[in-house]
Amino acid sequence: MGAETRHIIALLLWQFSKPVLLANLLAWPIGVWAVLNWLERFPYQFEHWLFMTICLLAGLMAMAIAWSTVIIKTNSVARASPMKSLRSE
């Protein structure tokens, strides 16, 4: 309908980022609580900031995977010829 590819990608990135962010916000407190309670039983402890860094990196990796998937798929669909899809229908 006349939208540019970058506008479509930006819209879909925002739409797919919200569930990933929500999942991270729900999973981090539960995961941190569960793992820190479990690790209290061991004699050797590690710093809590290290576990938070691991959680942050996992969240960033999930976001990067979601973004790269959206960018690649949206770009390929936006650049495809509409005649090919209309011909098959």
State pLDDT tens for residues 13-56.
Answer: 899 999 999 999 999 889 888 988 888 898 888 788 888 888 89
Q: What pLDDT was estimated at residue 63?
A: 93
What's the farthest any 2 CA atoms get from each other in the chain? 67
20: nearest Cα among 53, 55, 67, 74: 67
Percentage of the chain modeled with pLDDT above 90: 30
Residue 10 has pLDDT above 90, yes or no: no
Tell me the whole-structure pTM to 2 decimals.
0.75
**Closest to 23 measured CA to CA, from 12, 33, 13, 31:** 31
Q: What is the pLDDT of residue 26?
A: 92
Per-residue exposure over 24-33, b if at least 16 CB sit within 10 Å of its own CB, e if not: beeeeeeeee
The per-residue pLDDT for 1 is: 60
Mean pLDDT for 53-69 is 92
